[in-house]
């Protein structure tokens, strides 16, 4: 029988009632003739609670134990979903990541899926089981330790299962009815897109649109998995939601497809480092080793052989970054006067494949921000995106005015 992957995010399984509602959706697809792999998240708020426990217990925690703790939320929902389906007379059972096993790298808290053996689940389908409920977000490393895939990782579990099982489609059920031109919580003018290109979705996700985890989009693109984002609350039709698909499958699109933002940024400046060959390697090598995800980088012009180096990283990695830099300074690898952390910044980005063939998009973005009196601290660009770092208090204003200026509420 054809296989379908259905993923339910935290809000879609937040209560027993919602689990029942989700299970009914699964029942519809079973009746449609699919063997279904259901990927579940933890009940909404659970993962945050678990992360909080870990942070409070050990601020610079051992990531292996972080994974042992934070992966557990998904186990509860997997069991409850299987029980709910059984109550509806749908033959179902649950799997935790290690039981499949979902084999991952050992990069704890941010592991990548390497392999998903299909035999186990396929054999159960052959025996008449109709639904395999799999705990999302978690896997098993070569060292036999539980791993997690980074926040939002259940999306990636879902797409990886869809690829491994050659599923007809991967449906991501969430609390919005599709991918919008920007987060609908920030402007009511946000417009739902019927389709969005993989490349654009990849950029939006990596720049902060958490509707899909970046890695899930990467996998869908690589393995050509038809990926759909839709609401677990609305009645569904075949045309519901947003299809994430190849660029060629989209007839018309705006030059700017969407605006993304991320609140969780910090700007770090190393004051007065020696401007010499190898200085960037000496700074960013230790940061990488410490697991700091550096995003934007600017090096100032130098004066008398010394310069300032600014970079941005996720706000929850500031301590790690400080520690890594202090260590490098103590060992004599680098020398700096001071390390200043600005934790009141946000990143706002515009994304669109139309930018490849249209000049002036970045200039227009800067003019819009100027007109709103928003100061830009750092800029980065690529072929299909422009990102700026600004004061966090202007983030919503920037998103709304860019959304207006690029007329995203109107379809092309």
**CA-based nearest residue to 53, from 103, 78, 45, 95:** 45
SS3 content of the chain, % helix, strand, coil (to 5): 40, 25, 35
- Contact positions with ligand ADP (CB under 6 A) in 188-217: 204, 209-211
Supply the minimum distance, in Å, between the C-beta of residue 279 and ligand ASP: 36
Using CA atoms in the order 185, 187, 192, 193, what is the torsion angle rounded to 10 degrees? -110
- Position of tokens 């409850």? 80
Smallest separation (angstroms) from ligand ASP to the CB of 32: 26
Q: In 62-82, which positions are buried (b, 16+ CB within 10 angstroms) versus exposed (e)?
A: ebeebbbbbbbbbbebbbbbb
The alpha carbon dihedral of 120, 225, 8, 155 has a sign of: positive
CB 351 within 8 A of CB 257: yes
Q: Of 14 and 42, which CB lies nearer to ligand ASP in the complex structure?
A: 42
- Report what 352 binds from Mg ion, ligand ASP, ligand ADP, none; CB cut-off 5-8 Å by kind: none
Cβ-based neighbours of 123, under 8 Å, separated by 6 or more: none
146-148 and 138-140 strand pairing: antiparallel
Segment lying near ligand ASP (by CB under 6 A), choices 40-48, 127-135, 343-351, 355-363: 40-48
Among 136, 144, 14, residue whose Cα is nearest residue 70: 136
Asked if residue 185 belongs to a known ligand binding site, the reply is: yes
* 360 marked as binding residue: no
Q: Is 210 annotated as a binding residue?
A: yes
- The verdict on 10 binding ligand ASP (CB under 6 A) reads yes
Which one of 34, 98, 137, 406 is in contact with ligand ASP (CB under 6 A)? 137
CB of 247 to ligand ASP, least distance (A): 26
Per CB under 6 A, contacts with ligand ADP among 151-190 are 152, 174-176, 179-180, 182-183, 185
In the complex, least distance from residue 45 CB atom to ligand ASP, rounded to whole angstroms? 9
Write out the two tokens for 127. Answer: 């025996």
The verdict on whether residue 195 carries a ligand-binding annotation is no
Q: In angstroms, rounded to a whole number, what is the distance separating the alpha carbons of residues 189 and 169?
A: 30
Q: Which residues lie below 8 Å from residue 52, measured CB to CB, with a gap of 6+?
A: none
Stretch that binds Mg ion, among 1-9, 15-23, 78-86, 280-288 (CB under 5 A): 1-9
Give start and end residues of each alpha helix (H) in 59-153.
63-70, 72-87, 119-126
Helix, strand, or coil (residue 263): strand
Does 151 participate in binding ligand ASP (rule CB under 6 A)?
yes
Q: Specify the length of the chain in residues.
A: 412
* Closer of 181 and 214 to Mg ion (Cβ): 214
Partner touching 151 among Mg ion, ligand ADP, ligand ASP, none, CB below 5 to 8 Å by kind? ligand ASP
When binding is defined by CB under 6 A, the residue of 73, 258, 286, 352 that contacts ligand ADP is 258
Which of 102, 245, 99, 81 is closest to 160 using CA atoms? 102
Strand partners, 311: 268, 297
For residue 136, state whether it binds ligand ASP (rule: CB under 6 A).
yes
Q: Which of 73, 152, 178, 241 binds Mg ion (CB under 5 A)?
A: 152
To the question of whether residue 47 is assigned a binding role by annotation, the answer is yes
34 is in an annotated binding site: no
Catalog residues that contact Mg ion under the rule CB under 5 A: 9, 152
Catalog residues that contact ligand ADP under the rule CB under 6 A: 9-12, 41, 152, 174-176, 179-180, 182-183, 185, 204, 209-211, 258
Binding residues for substrate: 47, 74
Catalog residues that contact ligand ASP under the rule CB under 6 A: 9-10, 41-42, 47, 73, 136-137, 151-155
Binding residues for ATP: 7-10, 174-175, 180, 185, 210-211
């Amino acid at each position: 029988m054809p296989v379908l992957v259905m993923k339910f995010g935290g809000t879609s399984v937040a209560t027993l009632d919602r689990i029942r509602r989700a299970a009914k959706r699964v029942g519809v697809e079973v009746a449609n003739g699919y063997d279904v792999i259901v990927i579940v998240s933890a009940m909404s708020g659970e993962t945050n609670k678990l992360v909080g426990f870990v942070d409070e217990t050990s601020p610079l925690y051992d990531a292996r134990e972080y994974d042992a703790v934070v992966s557990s939320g998904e186990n509860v929902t997997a069991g409850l979903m299987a029980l709910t389906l059984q109550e509806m007379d749908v033959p179902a059972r649950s799997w935790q990541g290690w039981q499949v096993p979902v084999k991952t790298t050992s990069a704890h808290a941010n592991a990548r899926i390497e392999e998903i053996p299909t035999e186990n689940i396929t054999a159960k389908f052959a025996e008449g089981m109709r639904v395999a409920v799999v705990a999302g977000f978690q896997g098993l490393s070569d060292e036999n330790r539980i791993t997690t895939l980074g926040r939002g990782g259940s999306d990636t579990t879902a797409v990886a299962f869809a690829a491994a099982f050659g599923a007809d489609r991967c449906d991501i059920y969430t609390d919005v009815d599709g991918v919008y031109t920007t987060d609908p919580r920030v402007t009511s003018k946000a417009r739902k897109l019927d389709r969005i290109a993989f490349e654009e979705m990849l950029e939006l996700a990596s720049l902060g649109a958490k509707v899909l985890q970046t890695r899930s989009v990467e996998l869908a693109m690589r393995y050509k998995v038809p990926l759909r984002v839709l609401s677990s609350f609305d009645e569904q039709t075949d045309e519901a939601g947003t299809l994430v698909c190849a660029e060629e499958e989209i007839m018309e699109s705006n030059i700017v497809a969407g605006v993304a933002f991320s609140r969780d940024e910090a700007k770090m400046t190393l004051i007065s480092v020696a401007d010499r060959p190898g200085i960037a390697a000496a700074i960013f090598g230790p940061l990488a080793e410490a697991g700091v995800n550096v995003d934007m980088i600017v090096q100032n012009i130098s004066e008398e052989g010394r310069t300032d180096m600014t970079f941005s990283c996720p706000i929850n990695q500031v301590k790690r970054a400080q520690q890594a830099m202090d260590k490098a300074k103590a060992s004599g690898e680098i020398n700096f006067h001071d390390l200043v952390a600005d934790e009141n910044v946000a990143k706002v980005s515009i994304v669109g494949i139309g930018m490849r063939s249209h000049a002036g998009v970045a200039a227009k973005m800067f003019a819009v921000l100027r007109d709103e009196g928003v100061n830009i601290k750092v800029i980065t660009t690529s072929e299909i995106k422009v990102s700026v770092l600004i004061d966090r208090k202007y983030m919503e204003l920037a998103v709304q005015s860019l959304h207006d200026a690029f007329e995203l509420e109107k379809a092309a």
